[in-house]
């Protein structure tokens, strides 16, 4: 079974530029999460999708961050314009929930390390 | 508001020692607790998941325990190896928050050869 795929793995941009990250979850996983992880901290949830609908985006800085999951499969997270404090690792995770497996165990991709200069 | 704390923030031990990593949480109404491993520059790997009704889970040299009443979990690593060097994070999920994970900041573990 293929894991969660993310690209790019690394990105360096200047402040005020824009950037986009892509995530493809494990096949069949309905729930997709985007996290921001600053060095030395635990991940912070930015947005949670269930299929192509948003479950929670309360911690997404909507003035500069946007995310979509149009067909309920892969997802894109965008930052425009970027700030220095956006330098972090952006993690994507997915989980499978069903009547037979309501465990909500999350599986993570390798992450994208963003450096804003 | 659920808060998760991991102590110590960093730990360095000689190879071969058995060790315990600690995780505490403030609200005992959790759905499950997960322990993850994170290697530098890489994503998170799930090590063990304990459902709220369970007391412990084991995988190889790893054993995780859960005491909901006291708001604590421990990750026991037996016969540590240099390859165990990584950051270990714990996270809890709650029923009333879409099962979202609330994270500790992690314990950075270094196993000296």
Say if A42 is an interface residue toward chain B (CB within 8 Å). yes
3-state secondary structure of B83: helix
B63-88 pLDDT, tens digit each: 999 999 999 999 999 999 999 999 99
How many other C-beta atoms are found inside a 10 Å radius of the C-beta of residue B43? 23
CB < 8 Å to B4, chain A: 42
- H or E element, residue A44: strand A44-50
User: In this predicted model, which residue has the larger pLDDT, B95 or A52?
Assistant: A52
Residue A102: band (very low, low, confident or very high) from pLDDT cuts 50, 70, 90: low
B24-48 pLDDT, tens digit each: 999 988 989 999 999 987 789 999 9
Chain B interface mutation, best of A42, A90, A92, highest count of B Cβ atoms under 10 Å: A42
Rounded to the nearest 5°, which phi and psi values hold at A100? -90, -15
A50-97 pLDDT, tens digit each: 888 999 999 999 999 999 998 889 999 999 999 999 999 999 999 886
Nearest to B44 among A55, A91, A113 (CB): A91
State the Cα–Cα distance between residues A21 and B3, nearest whole angstrom. Answer: 29
pLDDT over 60 at B49, yes or no: yes
């Amino acid at each position: 079974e293929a894991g969660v795929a993310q690209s790019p793995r690394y990105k360096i941009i200047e402040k005020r530029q824009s950037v986009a990250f892509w995530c493809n979850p494990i096949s069949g996983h309905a729930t997709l999460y985007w996290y921001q992880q600053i060095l030395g901290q635990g991940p912070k949830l930015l947005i949670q999708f269930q299929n192509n609908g948003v479950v929670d985006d309360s911690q997404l800085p909507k003035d500069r961050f946007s995310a979509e999951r149009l067909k309920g499969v892969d997802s894109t997270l965008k930052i425009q314009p970027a700030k220095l404090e956006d330098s972090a690792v952006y993690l994507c995770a997915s989980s499978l929930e069903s009547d037979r497996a309501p465990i909500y165990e999350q599986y993570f991709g390798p992450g994208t390390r963003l450096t804003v200069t | 508001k659920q808060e998760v704390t991991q102590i110590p923030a960093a730990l360095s031990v000689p190879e071969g020692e058995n060790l315990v990593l600690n995780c505490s949480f403030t609200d005992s109404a959790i759905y499950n607790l997960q322990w993850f491993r994170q290697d530098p520059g890489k994503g998170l790997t799930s090590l063990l998941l304990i459902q709220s009704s369970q007391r412990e889970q084991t995988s190889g040299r790893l054993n995780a325990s859960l005491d909901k009443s006291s708001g604590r979990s421990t990750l026991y690593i037996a016969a540590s190896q240099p390859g165990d060097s990584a950051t270990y994070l714990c996270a809890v999920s709650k029923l009333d928050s879409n099962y979202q994970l609330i994270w500790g900041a992690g314990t950075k573990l270094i196993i000296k050869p």
